[in-house]
Structures are given as structure tokens and as C-alpha cells.
Structure 1
């Protein structure tokens, strides 16, 4: 096990729950790019107790990100993800001993466009529940028509952390 690796399922979920932004990396005809996005998520354990993470995202339906994410239609597109929580500066007696305390998740998966109105509502609800628990979740007129909703089935992810000094 790597020095800072997080393996405990409850700790991994706590990291996902604490993060507010996921960075999604993809490739299109212009090359690689990374985009920060707000997200919601589903967390389930499979029969063996391994966590299954699904991320829900939203965006405009046009532009580079939407074109890249939707390039293969319902077949999905491979992406990389990264999210982190900043836990403060670690100080020391000299410049190179300074560092940063953090918790992070990195992984890979496939992103899929969501077309069904019912599934879009579900995804947007998951996003709101993560970003603003308890906030009103009523969708205004035309929101589903003008909002692209995306689902990332995360195939593999790992967690790391560097604890603040006591």
C-alpha cells in the first residue's frame, strides 16, 4: 500500500462527499483537456463490498465539452476524473518542508449523455442534493430541454490523503 493511499470504503466516500468539484479529463480532435464541474453522485457497494461510484454532471448542450462528451452518443466516451479537498498548509522550519494537507480521488470511467427526461431529473436532483442539501429542487420551465446531463460510470478510482500535522 502506498504511503498516502486511502483504502477504507467509508473514508473514500467521505472524500467524495466533501469535494465540491470534479475535474473531468477527455480527448477530442483538438487534444486533451480538463474541465472542472459541479457534481452529484451515487455510491453503492457490490456483492463483494467494493464501492461503485456514479457521477452526475450537467452543462450546456453545445461547446467543446458537450461535443467531446457526446462524441460516441450512447456508447459513451472514456474520461479521467480528479477531485480534491484542501485541508490546509503544512508548515515547517524551512521553505522545502512546507506542503499541503489534502484528500483526493482519481479515477477513470465512461461518460454518457442522458436523454430521458426522468433520468435527467434524477441526475439534476443528485447534483442539487450534493451541492446544496435541503435547497429547493424545483426545475424551471424548459430546463430539461436546454440542459445537458451526463453520467460517469467510474470504472476504477483510488484515494489519497496527506494529513495535517497535529
Structure 2
């Protein structure tokens, strides 16, 4: 997997473990999907698995809807997440600034069909928010949702 190019090298975070720590502290991932002539952006809860510098993101949602239709039409998607927001005030408007940490990237989306893989993905998602990964899911609950995985092909992280 490669890192995206960042114009402001002085703001780039390139340490893999630091990037994962920032990701772990983000609450929402915005997924950008191609919608004919425009982009459809949807904020989602997420979980992730990092294995030997390979990154997989997991999302869930209802089995029908625009997001699922768009994923079925085009597997390539972009994502963004951010945290640590703070405004920096100044005496003149052009000296105002904003502090943040952000992650952007892209990858290929897949709808998980296998029940065991679906449960594993949901465990990653739940662990991200609860630090617990031994949840039980009923057959009925699993049938009501779709679980999506993104194999991340490129990502970068920066802070200001």
C-alpha cells in the first residue's frame, strides 16, 4: 500500500503506528462514492484492521439504499476522517487558522457475504467504539444489515 502525496511535507505524519493511533481516535469516516456525474459522501461508523501495513476498513448499514446501489456499481471509493479540531484566533482575518489531524485515502469496497467474515468485521467495528471484541450477533441481526469492507490501497495523514 502506498501513501498519498501531501503538498505540505511539514504537516505530513508518516509513522505507521502514529497514523493508526490517529485513526483509532476518529469517530466517523466519510465515504465518497461515485454517483454518475457527482460524488455521494456519507458519514459512517467504522472499524479497522491493520495487519503488516495492510489496512482494511469496515462499515455497516441497511441492506438496501443508495450507498449499497452505488457500491455495487463502482467498487472504488475515497474516504476521509478527522479529529482534534481547534480554532486559532488572531487579530486579522487572514491570520486565523484551524488545527486538526486528518486521514484521507482510497480503496476498493466489497460487500461481505460470508457469515463468519461478517461477524469478524462487526467485532472490529464494535471494538473501535467500545474496546470490546467479544460481541454476540443473532442470525436475525446479521440478516438485517450489510457489512462492507474497504481494502485500502492508498492513504495519508497530516496535522496542523
Same fold (TM over 0.5): yes
Q: Normalization by structure 2: what TM-score? A: 0.88
Unpaired segments ≥5 residues, structure 1: 46-50
1:26-55 superposed Cα distances (whole Å, 9 cap, x missing partner): 11346321111000000122xxxxx22100
Following superposition, the deviation at residue 148 of structure 1 comes to 0.2
Q: What is the alpha-carbon distance in structure 2 between the residues aligned to residue 78 and residue 141 of structure 1?
A: 30
Question: How many pairs does the alignment contain?
Answer: 153
Match among 34, 42, 52 for residue 41 of structure 2: 34
Q: What is the alpha-carbon distance in structure 2 between the residues aligned to residue 91 and residue 29 of structure 1?
A: 40
Q: Normalization by structure 1: what TM-score? A: 0.85
RMSD over equivalenced CA pairs, Å: 1.8
Match among 111, 116, 119 for residue 113 of structure 1: 111
Q: What is the alpha-carbon distance in structure 2 between the residues aligned to residue 140 and residue 113 of structure 1?
A: 19
Q: What is the alpha-carbon distance in structure 2 between the residues aligned to residue 95 and residue 5 of structure 1?
A: 25
- Tell me which residue corresponds to 2:3: none
- Tell me which residue corresponds to 1:48: none
- Tell me which residue corresponds to 2:145: 147
Following superposition, the deviation at residue 157 of structure 1 comes to 0.3
